Structure 1
């Protein structure tokens, strides 16, 4: 479970970085190609781009993780369902060309959120995200 926790923390950190950079390739590298999670993240990035904003200061922390189920996925790979509680601090949506930090819409810290992640790995990628 410690390795799985480290993998989920890394996925969250890399996702925050990819969204902040507006990097579609980096974002896609975190999900299973063609999966619901890949489609949701692609749609999120498209909405940000269409609105002409970029994300600044996004930090998602893992508060808790509990494994819910595990199954073989062929070869050395496994599919694992994990219940996670995450917290997001405040961040800003900044007009794409703005240099001033915090310009644009400020988003307040979010309350803790419980989700069930289906991850496939190794290497670990998110396949699906659902509610608890």
Structure 2
């Protein structure tokens, strides 16, 4: 959305106006998202405190294998698309607007989106700005 409004730089005013899903620790998908993100972030000892905070343990549970990292990123993309209430066609279109992202990455994200359909079916998360 922001890319459609700005030319060269992003004013925080635009960010504050975005409809963003507001998950809390009590939401069904909160821990799944936090765990995947932590595995991508916590890959060195500097992130041990964060790893402990999110129950990952330490950076040793972080993922450094590029294939597994790509899978985690695709899963996060698919989950977030569902949280925003996007249809598969809408998500597919959005992916086409990123010309430097490879077709393989886009297909992995769409595949993850499809895999999560039964889990996210009939769930509504209020997006608030």
Fold conserved between structures, TM > 0.5:
no
Greater relative contact order (Cα 8 A, min sep 6): structure 1 or 2? 2
> Normalising by structure 1, what TM-score?
0.29
Please state which structure has a larger fraction of its residues in helix: 2
> Normalising by structure 2, what TM-score?
0.29
Please state which structure has a larger fraction of its residues in strand: 1
